[in-house]
Every structure is written in C-alpha cells, then in structure tokens.
Amino acid sequence: MAILNVSGLCKSFGTDVILKDVNFLIEEKDKIGLVGLNGTGKSTLLKILAGKMSYDSGNIFMEKGLKIGYLSQSAKFESHKTIKDALSSIFKELQNQESRLRKLETLMSTPEIYQDEKRLNDLMHQYSVLFEEFKSNGGFEIQSRIRGVITGLGFDDEDTPISTLSGGQKTRLALGRVLLQSPDLLLLDEPTNYLDLESIQWLETFLKDYNKSFLVVSHDRYFLDTVATKIFELENGRISVYTGNYSNYINKKQAEMEVFKKQYKERQKEIKRLQKNIQTFISHRKYAQVESRRKRLEKLLPKTVLKQGTTDIKIKFNAQAASGKEVLTIENLGFSYGEKRILDLVNLKVYRGERIGIIGPNGIGKSTLLKLLAGELEPQEGEIVFGHNVCPVYFDQEQRDLSSEATILEEVYNSAPGLTLTEVRTFLGSLLFSGDEVEKKINILSGGEKSRVALAKAILQGANLLLLDEPTNHLDILSKEKLENALNAFDGTIIAVSHDRYFLSKIATRIWEFDKDGIADFHGGFNYYLEKKNESKKKNIQEDNVNKTQLKKAKLRERREREKKREAQKRLKQIEKCIYKKEEELEELELELCKPEVYSDPKKAQEVNAAYNKVLADLEQLYEMLDEQED
C-alpha cells in the first residue's frame, strides 16, 4: 500500500532546473536509498517531502495522518540545555500523560472522592482510558529507548550541555531525536556523516529492524548495501527506481550503460551515413531528400552525447621526489587536552608506499594524531621523526586554506608546481570538474565541491606523504570513486582517517585501530582487519608475541567471562519471569479497580489502588534492573 505518491514534481532555482517531472511511490515498510551526484537535488527533494520547501508544480499525495520525521544536515537546539533534555522533549505528550495519571491516582485516594460515587466512577474511567493509551504508546519504555539511542550514537554522558557539543555531535543528536519519534516515514539526509564505525553499525541494525518506511540520502556504499532494499537514482532532474541494494543497483546500472554505449555507437554510424547522404543529395540538387535526412539527423543528434562522468579519465601524478624507505617514526608519543589523555606512549613506524587507514570511535585521538604529524599541534611527550626527503601535506575537514575569491583552476594550479594548465584541467576532470566548471569561484561551491578542490590541491602539491582527515565526507558516490582512482594512482605514502568502509577497502594496505586501550596495528587491508576482528574480539594483542603464560591468563579470563555471562543470563531470565508475573498482577488489579463493588467502596478502592501503585512501582524497578542487565 502506497503511503506517499509523487507525480510530475518540478522545482527550479532561477534558471536552474533541479527537479523535472519527478514521479515515484513510497510504500509501507519501503527501505529506500536515494543516490545521485552532489547538486542534483537530493536534499531539495527531501526538504519538499518534509514540507520545509515549496515546489513549482506537480502533486504530492500522502496517506491521511502520515507522520514524517526529517533529518537535515544541520541542527539547532536553542531551547534545550542537555542531551537528555533534547531527547526527552520528544516524549512531552507521554510525560504529560504520566503526570495526569499521577494526579488522578492522588485524587482518587482522597477521602472526599469516596463520598461522591459519580465523581469516583468518572475518575476511574478517565484513569483506565488514559492508562491504556499511555501503555500502548510505550510510556513505560521511554527511559530505556533514550538510553539505547544515547549509547548507540556514541554519547558518554546524557547530562552533557548542548552548548559544548561540536557540529558533528549536534547532527548525531538530531538523528537520535528523529529516530525516537518513530515516524511512519523517515527522511534522512546523510545520517552517517560524523558517525564512527560502531555508531554506523548500530544505525544499520536500527534501520534494518525498523518496521516502517524510510528514504535515506547517503554516499556510504556499505551502509546502502546493508539497509536499502530499493534504490532511487536522481539524475538529470528525474528519478529512476531500482529494486535491491546498492550493489544490485550498480550491476543493473552498468548493464544499462553497456546497452547505452552500443546504442551510441550505432547512432554514430547512422549519423555519419546520413551526413554523407546529405552531401551526396546536395551535390545532385535533390533537396527533398536532403530535408528528410536532416530531420532524421536532428532526431539523432541530441541523443549522441554520453552522460557526464560516465567515462574514466586515467591519469597518474607522482610525487616530485621519492622519500626514503622509512617515512615516519613515532616514539613514545603522548598528548592531552587538559586532564583528558588522548594519546599515550604511541610507538609506530611507517614505510614508503604504505596506505594506512585510521579507524575508531569519535573523540579518541585519530584527528589529533594527524594534526601532530602535520605540525598543526606540537607533541607534549615523545617525538615524531620524518625520514629522508619526506614532504607531507595535510587535508583537514574544514578546508580552511582555500581562497574564497579564487577560481577552482587558479586555486589548484597555484598549488601544483611543475604541472601545465592542461594537466591540471585533466586532473580536475577526473574529480568531476569539467569544462567551464573550473572557472567557478570557491565561495559559491558546495561542501562536497570544496572537499574535491582541497583534495586536488593536496594530491598535486608534489608531496610524497598525504595526511587525509575524512577525505570522503561530503562527496557523492561518483566523486568518491574518482578520488579512489586518483589515490590508487599516487605513488607516495598515505595516512587517512576515515569511517568510509568502502573507501578503506579500496585504499588501505594497513589499519590502525584506535580504542580506549591504545592503538592496534593490523598489517593488511580493511578486509584483512575485518577477518581478524571476526576471529577474535581481543584488541591490541599481537598473537605471534603472546607467550604460554599470557595465553593461559587469557583463557582464564575468557572462562570467567563465560561464567559471568551465564550468571547474567540466569538473572535476566529471573527478572523477566518477575516482570511477567507483575504484569499479570497489574492487569488483575486494573480489572478490580473497574468493578462497581470496588470503586463504590471507598475503603476497598483505596486498598486496591494502593496495591496497584505498589505493583506499578515494583514493575518500574524491574524494568530498570532489566535495562542494567542488558547494558
């Protein structure tokens, strides 16, 4: 059953047509990924569906009472003080219901109410209706759901003031608010931006289990493969629908492109034949035949242009000078922000040609390490020693070193020593800046376009060590693929912080995993890292260095952990049995409260009501115990 139907939707900004005759359906429990190049109108479409932006023409039909939840790429929380405050406000109506229930309980327990049978009956009826509504809407699960979102999205303290949060943390908080609303249709614009791997995996599980519909804009290819069962592609102002996940879409798209290329070649042959015929008929002055051939030629010509970005530009730009074999040595490196220890006794070596992917939770020191390597921060302990002839360049997420009044071509050309304008134009074309686009000024570019410019500068500066902090953030899928091609053609050394699992699998030859216990070094690509993680959950232990004594201790710890888990499972089952029993008691007392012989007898009503409140309090305590066990 369709919950939303879009037909003939059009939207323009001045002379720029963004959406042109867009048509699609969203059905119950649809799990849709929306893909397309940056600037094609994906965010615009979500804003229109969410009612945040008007459209020029067309129709949007929604199921009556459809509840829509929308996550934009920016969030504001002026009226909230803490994380818990921002999330709890979602349940304001349920909290009001709970407050009314408590007031009714207090009122029904007063002696004067017992003397007014009609008043007592009215209150009992109000209470019964309100209680059922509160229960059916999940009133008893509020705190559990809030704690689940806070933990899942990587927040440590629910009482953290919002004023202290970064932009990325505020975006995560906005995502939490939308998920807690549990709308009929979720509209999510780049929800994985600013999430670490653990939080992304939590979100994937949440969306896979979500029993309603969602439409998500994402450039995370692993994420789309995991959560989407349908792909909407927005291209040239129109929507094309593909069933299956992202990989299915890519396979179907490639098959379509092969057919398109064959048709293109056939049209080219036909065009040449017609052009030759026209010249022949002109020379013989057969103008009627010339006119008929020209009309046919006009129909063919507009279709002969291949879509932008479908051709691969293979280009290789080398570092100006090769570094020594040992690129970098980190010895006993330590760094703190105030009393918060970020890096402690870090010892690592990097060799020429390695491509190192740095992964781990947000706020654990990944970007700090890059800034230390780039000279943006000074080590507080230990030292960083660069090898012979090492020339590093640093790419950060802020793109602070871009000149706002320069054009794309000027900005990159001025940073590319020894390269001609043609070579720079060609490289920019490989990053999807083609034709006159290179004359755009930096100050009018989107976030993704600025990222591509900054990446082009970093790659072309002639450095032999690239330090990249989240290089794929804000890039669309095609831009990511072009970046991956450019980096694979780079013959220097790369150290990149990234949460993009697809990017890491294409680029990395070595993984540094940051966690609270330190840095685990995996001498292999991202898939090798995943294999090792699946084999063992233990971190920071190199198996080839573990002696027999350490192995015995590890086995002993594992046995104790298994025993703890068994005990915890027993306690969990006992709590669940108690909850089931208390819920049965609660239902029996609810029925008692509704009996005339009870609510007409003030003393009896007070006894039953007191018993009811006691069971309710016990039940809430059991729910808290259950949450603690599950955590």
474 & 529 share domain: yes
Angstrom distance (rounded) from CA 214 to CA 204: 12
Q: Taking a C-beta distance cutoff of 8 angstroms, is the pair 552, 573 a contact?
A: no
pLDDT > 70? residue 114: no
Q: What pLDDT is recorded for position 296?
A: 72
Strand pairing category for 185-189 and 340-351: unpaired
pLDDT (tens digit per residue) in 410-427: 888 888 777 888 888 888
Task: For residues 625-629, give the mean pLDDT.
Answer: 74
Q: Per the domain annotation, does 252 fall within a domain?
A: no
Q: Residue 433: give the domain boundaries.
A: 326-545
**% of residues, the chain, pLDDT over 90:** 20
Cα dihedral 269, 272, 273, 277 in deg (nearest 10): 170
299 & 357 share domain: no
pLDDT > 50? residue 303: no
Cα dihedral 105, 107, 112, 115 in deg (nearest 10): -60
Angstrom distance (rounded) from CA 219 to CA 474: 8
Domain ends where: 175, 209, 230?
Answer: 175
User: What is the residue whose two structure tokens read 């030629």?
Assistant: 297
Choose between 360 and 76: higher pLDDT.
Answer: 360
Angstrom distance (rounded) from CA 508 to CA 495: 9
User: What is the residue whose two structure tokens read 């059922």?
Assistant: 132
pLDDT > 60? residue 56: yes
pLDDT (tens digit per residue) in 142-159: 777 888 888 877 777 778
Q: Per the domain annotation, does 105 fall within a domain?
A: yes
State the CATH number of the domain containing residue 42: 3.40.50.300
Angstrom distance (rounded) from CA 227 to CA 205: 8
β-sheet bridge partners, residue 9: 22
502 & 585 share domain: no
Choose between 305 and 459: higher pLDDT.
Answer: 459
Q: What is the pTM of this model?
A: 0.60
pLDDT > 50? residue 328: yes
Choose between 26 and 403: higher pLDDT.
Answer: 26
φ, ψ of residue 350 in degrees (nearest 5): -125, 135
pLDDT band at residue 305, thresholds of 50, 70 and 90? very low
Q: What pLDDT is recorded for position 539?
A: 46
571 & 539 share domain: no
Angstrom distance (rounded) from CA 77 to CA 75: 7
127 & 274 share domain: no
Report residue 419 as tokens. Answer: 């390269």
DSSP SS3 for 476: coil
Domain ends where: 490, 521, 545?
Answer: 545
pLDDT (tens digit per residue) in 487-524: 888 888 999 998 888 889 889 999 999 988 889 999 99
Q: What pLDDT is recorded for position 319?
A: 56
Angstrom distance (rounded) from CA 26 to CA 45: 14
Helix (H) / strand (E) element for 112: namely helix 111-114
Q: How many structural domains is the chain composed of?
A: 5
Q: Per the domain annotation, does 465 fall within a domain?
A: yes
Domain ends where: 527, 545, 563?
Answer: 545
User: What is the residue whose two structure tokens read 């015995």?
Assistant: 552
pLDDT > 70? residue 538: no
599 & 612 share domain: yes
